Amino acid sequence: MIDAGLFERFPCDSIYAIHNWPGAPLGTIGTRVGAFMAGSAQIDIEIKGKGGHAGLPQHCVDPIHAASLLIQALQALVSRNADPTTPTVLSLTQLHSGDAYNVIPSSAHIGGGLRYLEAREGDRMMHRLKEIAAGVAGATGAHIDVIVKPMFPVLVNDPACTHRSLEVARALVGATNVDGELGPLMGSDDFAYLLQSTPGCYLLLGSGDHEHTHMPHDPCYDFNDRLLPIGAEYWVRLAEALLEAAAN
């Protein structure tokens, strides 16, 4: 949308988004100034060895062995390499190799993702990940290719837009139901791309902490219809506040 000229065709002074948030009390609103959601990168690691009979490992280069060493080494990437004052998460979520009991396979695949709240720290972790993989390749004789695909930038809320959003929220649901200092989230959202081009604010709207506790990616997720009038009223009041500010 941005590459197609969204903001050239439809210029915006500021932009806003709401995401429902199960587990938080119904109708509560929260956000924070600055980095609010993580940037992320998708990781694919291809390990190529030399397959052969499981009883003759001396003639093989075992990709499963290399994968196990690499996974163990990468578990220390965050704890031993990342800045402990900056939230960073590496999760390896895939491991595929082999389909027989008596055959050492010729390849293995590891997949996962890296999340970070500072772009510079994310870049450093991606570089360090490749260095660790190269070390494991040298130690095992396997050939290891690391493909890192950046997915989302860090979502950063503009201070002025965030304060304006919080004022509207307090008028709507009451000050006790609004939290302007939520901790950062390690999930990601493509609204971050829009915020790189235009200042704005991303908020969370609590959808209930009893029957509506399953997160949106959970197969048991159930949208709380009682959010609709709250969200709609918020957008109306925010639009009115922005128009009033522009008029003055």
Per-domain residue ranges of the chain: 14-37+155-247, 39-152
- How are beta strands 39-48 and 29-30 bridged, if at all? unpaired
Pick the CATH number of 14-37+155-247 from 3.40.50.620, 1.20.950.20, 3.40.630.10, 3.40.30.10: 3.40.630.10
- How are beta strands 34-37 and 107-116 bridged, if at all? unpaired
For 39-152, CATH gives 3.30.70.360
C-beta of residue 162 within 8 angstroms of C-beta of residue 32: yes
Identify the segments of the chain with pLDDT beneath 50.
none
Q: What is the pLDDT, as a whole number, of residue 39?
A: 97
Q: What is the pLDDT, as a whole number, of residue 140?
A: 97
- How are beta strands 178-179 and 29-30 bridged, if at all? parallel
Q: What is the pLDDT, as a whole number, of residue 108?
A: 98
Residue with tokens 């002025």: 160
CA atoms within 13 A on the CB side of 63: 23
Q: What is the pLDDT, as a whole number, of residue 216?
A: 84
C-beta of residue 93 within 8 angstroms of C-beta of residue 109: no
Whether 39-152 and 14-37+155-247 are alike in CATH topology: the answer is no
Residue/partner pairs of 233-239 with CB below 8 Å, 24 or more apart: 233/172, 234/18, 234/29, 234/168, 234/169, 234/172, 234/205, 235/18, 237/168, 237/171, 237/172, 238/16, 238/164, 238/165, 238/168
pLDDT in tens, 130-177: 999 999 999 999 999 999 999 999 999 999 999 999 999 999 999 999
Q: What is the pLDDT, as a whole number, of residue 210?
A: 81
**C-alpha closest to that of 42 among 171, 188, 243:** 188
51 Cα distance to chain centroid:
36
DSSP result, 137-205:
HHHH--EEEEEEEEEEPPEEE-HHHHHHHHHHHHHHH-GGGEES-PPPBS---THHHHHHHS-EEEEEE
